[in-house]
């Protein structure tokens, strides 16, 4: 079966600093038309920074949920920006850490039913402490947590952020294969 939908028209609703919103009319595989409300986003990157049994997490307030979350160091890509370079930048900005080795763990679609945001996930090894350099509108605490405790936090529902859950669990497999856990 062919699943592709062809765009008939696009009504641009909003163009912001982070997202673009549109309503698209599409032609379905059966020939009927449907409407799709879409959010276009440049994507993001997150990094599992691991050393000697510990990882770095960040604790910050997230307005869409009106709560404090615990997440991996992460950030938004600029349109056209290389996700590897963005990952190195975000790791240093948020935690003050640089890495000698990065392993690409893959990508995840955040909300594929309506949003184009793709998160690229890296495992960083061989860490060296430098100086944190937060964006001026960024307020967060850096947590150094044992990897086992981070996995427990995921499994016990203390971490709700999808990219963080995926990053920690994918890293666990790699770290066990490398006999680093």
Q: Which tens digit of pLDDT belongs to each residue from 95-124?
A: 999 999 999 999 999 999 999 999 999 999
Every domain of the chain and the residues it spans? 6-40, 44-177
pLDDT band at 140 (very low <50, low <70, confident <90, very high): very high
Tell me the two tokens of residue 55.
Answer: 């990882």
Whether pTM > 0.85 for this model: the answer is: yes
Beta 74-76 vs 67-71: how paired, if at all? Answer: unpaired
Mark whether 136 is an active-site residue: yes
CATH annotation of 44-177: 3.90.79.10
Cα–Cα distance, 76 to 162 (Å, whole number): 15
Q: Can you give the pLDDT at residue 96?
A: 96
Marked catalytic residue, from 136, 158, 172, 177:
136
Question: Stretch 31-44: mean pLDDT, rounded?
Answer: 98
DSSP string, 144-179: EEEHHHHHHHHHTT----HHHHHHHHHHHHHHHHTT
Q: Which residue has the higher pLDDT, 1 or 54?
A: 54
Cα–Cα distance, 40 to 20 (Å, whole number): 5
Question: Stretch 40-49: mean pLDDT, rounded?
Answer: 98
Question: Stretch 20-40: mean pLDDT, rounded?
Answer: 98
Cα–Cα distance, 148 to 154 (Å, whole number): 10
Q: Can you give the pLDDT at residue 177?
A: 96
Q: Which tens digit of pLDDT belongs to each residue from 6-17?
A: 999 999 999 999
Question: Across the chain, what does the average pLDDT equal?
Answer: 96
Q: Which tens digit of pLDDT belongs to each residue from 61-101?
A: 999 999 999 999 999 998 899 999 999 999 999 999 999 99
């Amino acid at each position: 079966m062919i699943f592709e939908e062809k765009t008939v028209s696009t009504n641009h609703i909003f163009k912001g600093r982070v997202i673009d919103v549109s309503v698209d009319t599409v032609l379905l595989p059966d020939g009927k038309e449907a409407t799709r409300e879409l959010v276009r986003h440049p994507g993001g990157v997150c990094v599992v920074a691991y050393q000697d049994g510990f990882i770095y997490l960040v604790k910050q307030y997230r307005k869409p949920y009106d709560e404090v979350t615990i997440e991996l160091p992460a950030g938004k890509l600029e349109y056209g920006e290389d996700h590897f370079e963005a990952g190195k930048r975000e790791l240093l900005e948020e935690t003050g850490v640089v890495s000698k080795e990065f392993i690409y763990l893959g990508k995840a679609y955040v909300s594929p039913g309506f949003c184009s945001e793709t998160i690229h996930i890296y495992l960083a090894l061989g860490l060296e402490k430098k100086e944190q350099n937060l964006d001026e509108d960024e307020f967060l605490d850096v947590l150094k947590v044992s990897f086992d405790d981070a996995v427990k936090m995921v499994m016990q529902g203390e971490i709700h952020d999808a990219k963080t859950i995926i990053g920690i669990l994918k890293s666990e497999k790699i770290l066990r294969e490398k006999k680093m856990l």
